[in-house]
């Protein structure tokens, strides 16, 4: 009797254990719950270059803000900035979530802890970005992504076709005193960029003009190379009508103030051509500097979830094509080069998609460089202010 009870009890214990194991097994096979969608904060505050974030105010066809706001309920607030120095200053002060930073600002923002590394898993379309940009040195640092590429292009030589019978072939027309083909001096008819990174444009000009200087990288200059570039800019100073940083002011100067030659962006050239001005642009034999801009996330972003939504939105093919058509730039997403009504199927070729390797993209000059000791950006900034002041 006792033995039977013992065996019965053993069977019950075994059965109970089996049930527990089975229940545990069933629980282990249960699908994990999907993480809750992030709560969107209702707005995103962005610092951007002029023309980068349009809501149809200038031309109803160019609007990639209102559709985003309708989709996400994140209101887009934009502060435009005319130089990278201004962007760095504004981001350092705080109060913004994102910035469309060029390469001469991005490393400063990263080194200063002003922006944070992003989780590309939260930007599902990141794999669609041009492979030439995915891990570019100005935003991919120490194995971390510090933003999402947005758009890129060259700093073109913009000129008035009435002053030049043929397209100028060298940057000498803005750096050296001379008469143009209309028989008039270039003094007071030239503009230069109001940003210390413009020193690289002078260095690029010297790279061809004075090969004995052995300039290999216009953003990595030793003392002798740097001094020569400053010499070019001091010689240029008496020619300069204005050191420009506001794209719209430059458009007005080419329209009304007799300015006929300057480094510029495709945005201004497109705007002037649209307004039937006698303006064209070219990339001279020395090549050109340029910009590959990255949407970067503030280290203290108050609206990070709306910011991530914008970063994903910003690289959709429709937005990429529209931005490039409006600004005259090249999409960071190659898929945008086909099927966009505004850009057209030849827009990427026209805007220079194949010229990537010919452009020296803006990059923050640092003291430590491949050639050894180079002049850091702090010196560039101080010295260029002096040059603009005639010193």
Helix (H), strand (E) at residue 44: strand 43-48
**By three-state DSSP, how is residue 387 classified?**
helix
DSSP state of 185: B
pTM of the model: 0.83
Give 16's Cβ-side CA count (13 Å radius). 6
- Sign of the CA dihedral with 141 first, then 311, 198, and 84 last: negative
For residues 148 and 60, membership in a common domain is answered with yes
Overall domain count for the chain:
2
273 and 310 assigned to the same domain: no
Domain CATH code at residue 112 = 3.40.190.10
Q: To the nearest 10°, the Cα dihedral for 49, 52, 58, 59? A: 160
Above 50 in pLDDT, residue 21?
no
Backbone angles phi, psi at 370, to 5 degrees: -60, -30
pLDDT digits (tens, 9 = 90+) for 122-137: 999 999 999 999 999 9
Give the tokens for residue 380: 């560039």
Is 299 inside a domain boundary? yes
What is the overall mean pLDDT for the chain?
91
112 and 67 together in one domain: yes
Structure confidence at residue 391 (pLDDT): 86
- Which pair of structure tokens corresponds to residue 296? 């970067």
- Residue-wise pLDDT for 305-329, tens only, equals 999 999 999 999 999 999 999 999 9
Instruction: Please indicate, yes or no, if residue 92 is contained in any of the structural domains.
Output: yes
Distance CA 328, CA 324 (A): 5
Does 164 lie in the same domain as 113? no
Q: Which domain holds residue 254?
A: 154-289+365-388
Read off the pLDDT of residues 78-121 as tens digits, 9 standing for 90 and up: 999 988 999 999 999 999 999 999 999 999 999 999 999 999 99
Is the domain of 188 the same as that of 113?
no
pLDDT band at residue 37 under the 50/70/90 scheme: confident
User: Do 202 and 91 share a domain, yes or no?
Assistant: no
* Confidence at 9, pLDDT banded by 50, 70, 90: very low
Using the structure block, give the residue that is written with the tokens 């002003």.
Answer: 114
Residues 149-179 have pLDDT tens digits of 999 999 999 999 999 999 999 999 999 999 9
pLDDT at 338 over 80: yes
- Residue bearing tokens 């003094």: 187
- For 226-275, how does the pLDDT look when each residue is reduced to its tens digit (9 = 90+)? 999 999 999 999 999 999 999 999 999 999 999 999 999 988 998 999 89
Q: Which residue, among 166, 190, 167, 164, has the nearest Cα to 177 in the 3D structure?
A: 190
Q: Which candidate, 93, 99, 100, 106, places its Cα nearest to that of 366?
A: 106
CB 294 within 8 A of CB 106: yes
Judge if 169 and 271 occupy the same domain.
Answer: yes
Residues 99 and 87 in one domain: yes
CB-based contacts of 209-218 (< 8 A; 24+ apart in sequence): 209/172, 209/286, 216/371, 217/360, 217/369, 217/370, 217/371, 218/289, 218/360
pLDDT digits (tens, 9 = 90+) for 240-253: 999 999 999 999 99
* Torsions phi, psi for 310 (to 5 deg): -65, -40
């Amino acid at each position: 009797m006792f033995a039977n009870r013992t065996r019965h009890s053993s069977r019950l214990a075994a059965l109970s254990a089996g049930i527990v194991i089975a229940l545990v097994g069933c629980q282990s096979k249960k699908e994990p719950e999907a993480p809750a969608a992030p709560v969107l904060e209702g707005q995103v505050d962005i610092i951007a270059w002029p023309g980068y974030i349009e809501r149809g105010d200038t031309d109803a066809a160019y609007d990639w803000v209102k559709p985003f706001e309708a989709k996400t309920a994140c209101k887009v607030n934009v502060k435009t900035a005319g130089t990278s120095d201004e962007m760095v200053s504004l981001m350092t002060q705080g109060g913004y979530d994102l910035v469309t930073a060029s390469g001469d600002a991005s490393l400063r923002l990263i080194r200063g802890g002003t922006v944070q590394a992003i989780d590309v898993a939260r930007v599902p379309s990141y794999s669609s970005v041009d492979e030439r940009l995915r891990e570019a040195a100005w935003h991919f640092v120490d194995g971390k992504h510090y933003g999402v590429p947005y758009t890129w292009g060259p700093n073109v030589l913009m000129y008035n076709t009435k002053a030049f019978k043929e397209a100028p072939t060298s940057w000498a027309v803005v750096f050296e005193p001379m008469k143009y083909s209309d028989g008039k001096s270039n003094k007071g008819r030239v503009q230069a960029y109001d940003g210390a990174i413009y020193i690289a444009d002078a260095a690029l000009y010297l790279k061809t003009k004075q090969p004995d200087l052995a300039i290999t990288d216009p953003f990595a200059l030793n003392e002798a190379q740097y001094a020569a570039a400053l010499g070019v800019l001091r010689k240029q100073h008496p020619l300069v009508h204005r050191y420009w940083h506001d794209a719209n002011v430059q458009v007005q100067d080419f329209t009304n103030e007799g300015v006929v030659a300057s480094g510029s962006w495709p945005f201004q050239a497109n705007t002037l051509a649209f307004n039937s001005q006698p303006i064209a642009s070219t990339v001279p034999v020395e090549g050109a500097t340029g910009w590959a801009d990255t949407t970067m996330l503030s280290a203290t972003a108050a609206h990070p979830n709306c910011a991530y939504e914008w970063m994903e939105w910003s690289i959709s093919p429709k937005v990429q094509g529209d931005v490039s058509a409006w600004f005259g730039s090249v999409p960071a997403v190659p898929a945008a080069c086909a099927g966009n009504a505004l850009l057209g199927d030849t827009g990427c070729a026209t805007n220079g998609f194949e010229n990537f390797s010919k452009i020296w993209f803006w990059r923050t000059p640092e003291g430590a460089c491949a050639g050894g000791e180079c002049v850091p950006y702090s010196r560039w900034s101080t010295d260029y202010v002096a040059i603009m002041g005639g010193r």
